Amino acid sequence: MRGFGAPLGICLPVLAAAAPRTATRAAAELRTFLLIAVISILMTITGCSPVSAATRHIVLLFDERVELPGLSLLEAEFVHTLRSDSPDPIEVYREAMDLSRFSSDSYKVLLRDFLRAKYADKKVDVAVAIMAPALDFLMAYGNLIFPETPIVFCGLDRGQLGTRSLTPNTFGVLIKREFAPTLELALRLHPETERVVVVSGTSDFDQELLAQAQNDFRPYENRVSFSYLSDLSLPQLLAKLSRLPSRDIVLIITVFQDGSGQPFVPHDVVERVSGAASVPVYGFLDQYIGRGIVGGSLYSTTKHGADTARMVLRLLTGAAMPAHLAEVSSNKVIFDWRQMLRWDISERGLPPGSEIYFRELSVWQRYSWQIAFVGAVVLIQAGLISILLHEHRRRRMAEVQSRQRMAELAHINRFSMAGELTASIAHEINQPLGSILTNAETAQSMLRSSHPDIEELKDIVDDILRDDRRASEVIRRMRSLLKKAPFEPQHIDLNELVRETVEFLSALAVGREVKLSSMISPAALPIVGDRVQLQQVILNLVVNAIDAMADTPSDDRAISIRTSRVEKFAEMAVSDHGPGIPEDRLKEVFEPFVTSKPKGMGMGLSIARTIVEAHDGQISASNEPGWGAVFRIKLPISRHPSVG
């Protein structure tokens, strides 16, 4: 309840000091007290503390400039963890000593006095030393600058800490620097390696790490040879690295300073070394990933920063410290996908649990959802199309089959009708044959005379020829009616067809004492259809009409065939003077096997309907007052002119 207790603590003495006390005054004071208490409670509930919680002050002492990439990463993670996990506000001060560039003793003394004066009036809760030089500085002057302030250090490994004797108020997070795991990894990925080229710098820090690495590599000296490059200037180093034989690999430690004494930011050196080297380069720090190294078992600076912040937090909250020193491994096996591609390193060779950074996702990985969706849509569409095509084919097949069956049935029907037509056909053929015989006999007797009349003979021969043609025409029509032909649509004129069929039927009509008349539309009625089949429809309708009038007095027997154009249709109506069709059977007569005749098959109208519908037309039956039955067929007018 820090922040809540403070105002009450201030208010109560103020109230207590009020004098002299009267009853009314005491009541007023009580009211004021209650009011203040309520306001304080409300402010606490709403989070507006009247006085802020005690701010904690932390000083970060860097050996170098804070902007060095490693330090800035460590610092960022340290501050982030501290601020997000601390219950109190945190104020962080940063002091960068820049010791690799300014390292004289007089500078350090001046720095000491400067910091002492700077923080004289500031209660610092924890001073944090980052890297060994900063720890040494605080060990020497910490008590003067930040008296009785606990010190936490980081950035050193146990070797670097050495034999320093730490005060009871000093705590530290030790780095577990390991160089062998990266070497082990590199040798596993490049089993043909003969030599390992180790690159490092000449600064104290560079040399310290190099010494440790050399120590770690000693057990490997019987497997591969080692070449240590630290005394070259950067340009010389790069030139050398660019000409390494293929069985070499490079391990880079740190280069804060090259062999010529030139200072560098190690990250830049890593980038240039990786760019120049003719063989793969491995490293030890996670900050170097993305700067050209293939990878390795890498130490994580950010994790080290977070571990240090957690130790500072324990001190701030007064939690028990399990030990003065914490040593945690912060290594992770990390690889750069781009470098793996560059050096042809297979993912299968990596140890399990390795992390791969900068992996370029394949189109499938990037758009798997979209590709799957589009693929599914295409598949469904393809499936639908194939189903539709299949259905279409089936329909076409069914249509072809039904046409074939219809043609066969129609053929049978024509045969049966031919029986009915036999008498009239015989009559039609007999007539010209009789005339031919008479004419031939006349010609024969004329030829016997001494002076035959040539002109007369010519006329007789013409008559014989005409009659012969007439008989041939009857036979031709009969043959065409009886021939078995496939459905053969062609441009025809319905008027022509009706005329021809009426002529064909005239003998039958005469024989059955029926008056057959036709009223042909003056305008042509072009349609597309099968001539034989449509003729069969007309024949069926007329023969049925003749049959229907069997009981009609012969004077009344009449059939009228009319053609006309109704909108986009060519229409033909066949009316008779028969009894008509009972109203309830008007539709039924088109069904197969419906007949009222003793020897009927009941197929004629059914076939007629099938033929008309195959021509996209309609057929209907009705009764007409004053007449008998009327059958109408409607066929679509064709846009092309009829060819007869």
Query: Does the footprint of ligand ADP cover residue 629 (CB under 6 A)?
Result: yes
Q: How far is the CB of 611 from ligand ADP (least distance, A)?
A: 12
Q: How far is the CB of 585 from ligand ADP (least distance, A)?
A: 7
Query: Does the footprint of ligand ADP cover residue 600 (CB under 6 A)?
Result: yes
Closer CB to ligand ADP, 129 or 589, in the complex: 589
Nearest of 400, 414, 412 to residue 614 by alpha carbon:
400
Q: How far is the CB of 557 from ligand ADP (least distance, A)?
A: 12
Q: Which part of the chain contacts ligand ADP (CB under 6 A), choosing from 136-144, 202-210, 403-411, 537-545?
A: 537-545
Closer CB to ligand ADP, 183 or 603, in the complex: 603
Query: Does the footprint of ligand ADP cover residue 644 (CB under 6 A)?
Result: no
Query: Does the footprint of ligand ADP cover residue 489 (CB under 6 A)?
Result: no
Q: Is the peptide bond between 20 and the residue preceding it cis, with omega within 30 degrees of 0?
A: yes
The DSSP letter of residue 484 is -
Q: Which part of the chain contacts ligand ADP (CB under 6 A), choosing from 180-188, 197-205, 353-361, 540-548?
A: 540-548
> Given the structure tokens 């049935």, which residue do they identify?
409
Dist. CA 641–CA 643, nearest whole Å: 6
Q: How far is the CB of 576 from ligand ADP (least distance, A)?
A: 5
326 in Cβ contact with 176 (< 8 Å): no
Closer CB to ligand ADP, 29 or 420, in the complex: 420
Closer CB to ligand ADP, 150 or 578, in the complex: 578
Q: How far is the CB of 638 from ligand ADP (least distance, A)?
A: 28
Three-state secondary structure of 173-194: EEECCCCHHHHHHHHHHCCCCC
Dist. CA 293–CA 92, nearest whole Å: 34
Query: Does the footprint of ligand ADP cover residue 628 (CB under 6 A)?
Result: yes
Query: Does the footprint of ligand ADP cover residue 537 (CB under 6 A)?
Result: no
Query: Does the footprint of ligand ADP cover residue 601 (CB under 6 A)?
Result: yes
Main-chain phi, psi angles of 344, to 5 degrees: 55, 50
In the range 166-205, which residues lie near ligand ADP by CB under 6 A?
none
295 in Cβ contact with 288 (< 8 Å): no
Closer CB to ligand ADP, 313 or 548, in the complex: 548
Q: Which part of the chain contacts ligand ADP (CB under 6 A), choosing from 24-32, 79-87, 459-467, 601-609?
A: 601-609
Q: How far is the CB of 496 from ligand ADP (least distance, A)?
A: 24
Dist. CA 282–CA 250, nearest whole Å: 6
Dist. CA 576–CA 166, nearest whole Å: 132
Position among 602, 620, 632, 636 found at the interface with ligand ADP (CB under 6 A): 602
Q: How far is the CB of 583 from ligand ADP (least distance, A)?
A: 12
Residue 310 makes CB contacts below 8 A (sequence gap 6+) with 81, 85
Q: How far is the CB of 407 from ligand ADP (least distance, A)?
A: 18
The DSSP letter of residue 629 is E
Dist. CA 106–CA 227, nearest whole Å: 39
CA atoms lying within 13 Å on the CB side of residue 539:
30
Instruction: Report the Cα–Cα distance between both ends of the chain, in Å, rounded.
Output: 112
Q: How far is the CB of 494 from ligand ADP (least distance, A)?
A: 20
Query: Does the footprint of ligand ADP cover residue 151 (CB under 6 A)?
Result: no
Query: Does the footprint of ligand ADP cover residue 516 (CB under 6 A)?
Result: no
> Given the structure tokens 């710098």, which residue do they identify?
201
Three-state secondary structure of 354-394: CEEECCCCCHHHHHHHHHHHHHHHHHHHHHHHHHHHHHHHH
Q: How far is the CB of 584 from ligand ADP (least distance, A)?
A: 13
Query: Does the footprint of ligand ADP cover residue 597 (CB under 6 A)?
Result: yes
Query: Does the footprint of ligand ADP cover residue 544 (CB under 6 A)?
Result: yes
Nearest of 278, 254, 250 to residue 267 by alpha carbon:
254
Dist. CA 304–CA 90, nearest whole Å: 20
Position among 604, 615, 633, 642 found at the interface with ligand ADP (CB under 6 A): 604
Q: Which two tokens stand for residue 97?
A: 């000593």
Q: What count of residues does the chain have? A: 644
Dist. CA 28–CA 146, nearest whole Å: 49
Q: Which two tokens stand for residue 577?
A: 């003077």
Which SS3 state, helix, strand or coil, does residue 63 take? coil
Q: How far is the CB of 506 from ligand ADP (least distance, A)?
A: 18
Query: Does the footprint of ligand ADP cover residue 548 (CB under 6 A)?
Result: yes
Closer CB to ligand ADP, 154 or 619, in the complex: 619
Beta-bridge partner residues of 493: 526
Dist. CA 207–CA 3, nearest whole Å: 51
> Given the structure tokens 């009659």, which residue do they identify?
467
Write each residue from 563 to 582 as x if it is in contact with ligand ADP (CB under 6 A), else as -, in one continuous string: -------------x-x--x-
Enumerate the H helices of 483-622 as residue ranges: 494-511, 531-548, 604-614
> Residues of 108-120 as b/e, b for ≥16 C-beta within 10 angstroms?
beebbeebeeebe
176 in Cβ contact with 216 (< 8 Å): no
Dist. CA 377–CA 429, nearest whole Å: 71
Query: Does the footprint of ligand ADP cover residue 559 (CB under 6 A)?
Result: no
Position among 100, 521, 595, 618 found at the interface with ligand ADP (CB under 6 A): 595
Q: Applying CB under 6 A, what is the total number of residues that bind ligand ADP?
A: 21
Closer CB to ligand ADP, 364 or 593, in the complex: 593
Position among 498, 589, 614, 633 found at the interface with ligand ADP (CB under 6 A): 589
Q: How far is the CB of 400 from ligand ADP (least distance, A)?
A: 25
Query: Does the footprint of ligand ADP cover residue 528 (CB under 6 A)?
Result: no
Position among 469, 596, 624, 641 found at the interface with ligand ADP (CB under 6 A): 596
Q: Which residue is nearest to ligand ADP (CB)?
A: 604
Query: Does the footprint of ligand ADP cover residue 545 (CB under 6 A)?
Result: yes
Closer CB to ligand ADP, 231 or 588, in the complex: 588
Closer CB to ligand ADP, 251 or 406, in the complex: 406
Interface ranges with ligand ADP (CB under 6 A): 540, 544-545, 548, 576, 578, 581, 589, 594-597, 600-606, 628-629
